[in-house]
Amino acid sequence: MRTSRERGQVAPAYVVVVASLLFLALAFFAVGQAGATRNGAQTGADAAALAAAKQSRDQFELELSANLDPEYLTAIFDLGQFGSFRGCEAAYPMAERNDTVVTPGGCSPAYNGGWGFTVEVETRKPVGDTVLPGTETKKATAEATAALIPRCRYEPVPEPLGTLTCEGTVPWLVGEGPPPDGPDLFDIRLAEN
């Protein structure tokens, strides 16, 4: 049987438990909010890197029409000696469309065994005000690399200038008719970081 002194002793314990659970829920929310901000940054970096690679491939497509030299084609398709095709100009507006900005010096050609671009971005908005201190000014950063993968192989022959054979297309006799389109020449893929 209870005495009158025991009444209400459990209420403070319930208040502490409920307050602890509420704080824990808000902390989980803050971690989730930080994760969502980080994912937004990664989306911006991926899109910007892909845009840079696509612009570079488009420039190569124009140069190919003007440079039908067997040595040049061998260097590009067989030796992997790619030119200095610009692409970073396309990275900036694509990052902006994804609510991120390219960091200073954050777009550069990636020549580690291939042709591509590495882009680093930062979110425009911080994680936000949460129960965890410091998140109100913390922005997320992310990096992505897009690589151009050749889909063709060049076979030099004496006449006319050789054959360019691309996956899924009819072989192109170099110099006869227009060259294959950029997507037929190179795939663009995000590289594993």
Task: Identify the bridge partners of residue 115 per DSSP, sorted by sequence position.
Answer: 148
Angle at 164 between CA 159 and CA 156, to 5 degrees: 40
SS3 assignment, position 177: coil
User: What are the boundaries of each domain within the chain?
Assistant: 11-190
pLDDT score for 44: 94
The answer to whether 110 touches 117, Cβ cutoff 8 Å, is yes
CA 35 to chain centre: 17
| Per-residue pLDDT tens digits of the chain, which is 193 residues long | 556 666 667 777 788 888 888 878 777 777 777 777 888 899 999 999 999 999 999 888 888 877 788 888 888 777 766 666 788 999 999 999 999 999 999 999 886 667 889 999 999 888 766 656 666 778 889 999 999 888 888 888 766 788 888 888 888 888 788 888 888 888 999 987 6
- Lateral strand order in the sheet of 100-109: 100-109, 115-123, 141-150, 186-190
| Helices marked H in the chain | 11-66, 70-77, 88-97, 182-185
